[in-house]
Structures are given as C-alpha cells and as structure tokens.
Amino acid sequence: NAGVTQTPKFQVLKTGQSMTLQCAQDMNHNSMYWYRQDPGMGLRLIYYSASEGTTDKGEVPNGYNVSRLNKREFSLRLESAAPSQTSVYFCASTPRPGNSNQPQHFGDGTRLSIL
C-alpha cells in the first residue's frame, strides 16, 4: 500500500522557471492538501481540496496554483519560481476533514531549491 506518493523527491530550479509537483494517493481519500515546511515555521498550508472538483487557498497561497485532476491526484504548480519558494513540500490526504480518528496521511515530501 503506497499511501501518498510525491514526485519528484528533489528538484533544483532557476529563478523564473516553472514546475509542477505531483501527488497521488491510493486510499480513496476525499480531501487533499499541500503544505510547505520551512525551518522554524512548522508546516504551513498552501492549498487544499476538500473534495474532487474543489480547491481553496490556505495560509500561504501566493505564487502557487493547484489542480485536483481527479480523486487520486492533486498537483501544485509554481508558475515563476522565486528563491523564497525554496522549501520542503508535503502532500497529505484524509478520508474527509473534521474527524480526528482519520488524521491526515503525508507523503515523504519534495525538496525544492530555487537558485
């Protein structure tokens, strides 16, 4: 059981380049999330998708776009990468929000460096 799979695991970009981070889950979860983790900042929510066909902004959405391609896949796009977007990005999913007995499951992250 793969759970939440993120690709790529590592990426180096130049300022201004674009990139799409991929996330797929095989647990038939309804809700999916994108976080970034920075030193001293914990995990901050970028965008989320409560269910297939819906997306909403989180705490730090500027500079990002998302697509909920289908129930399994939720991608994060950087249209014009900036050094401030250097971070570790985590995708997560949950059967549905609002139930702590079904907490969010995380992928192993994408480490992104913008030069």
Partner 1 sequence: DQQVKQNSPSLSVQEGRISILNCDYTNSMFDYFLWYKKYPAEGPTFLISISSIKDKNEDGRFTVFLNKSAKHLSLHIVPSQPGDSAVYFCAGHKETGANNLFFGTGTRLTVIP
Note the residues at the interface with partner 1 (CB under 8 A): 4, 31, 33, 35, 40-45, 48-50, 56, 58-59, 90, 92, 97-98, 100-101, 103-109
Q: In this complex, which beta carbon is closest to partner 1, that of residue 33 or of residue 64?
A: 33
Q: In this complex, which beta carbon is closest to partner 1, that of residue 44 or of residue 72?
A: 44
**Minimum separation from the CB atom of position 40 to partner 1 (A):** 6
Q: From CA 108, how far away is CA 90, in angstroms rounded?
A: 7
**Minimum separation from the CB atom of position 80 to partner 1 (A):** 25
Q: From CA 45, how far away is CA 74, in angstroms rounded?
A: 14
Q: Phi and psi at residue 47, in whole multiples of 5°?
A: -145, 160
Q: In this complex, which beta carbon is closest to partner 1, that of residue 17 or of residue 111?
A: 111
Q: In this complex, which beta carbon is closest to partner 1, that of residue 92 or of residue 112?
A: 92
Tokens read off for 114: 């913008």
Give CA angle at 55 (54, 58), nearest 5°.
Answer: 150
Tokens read off for 12: 């180096």
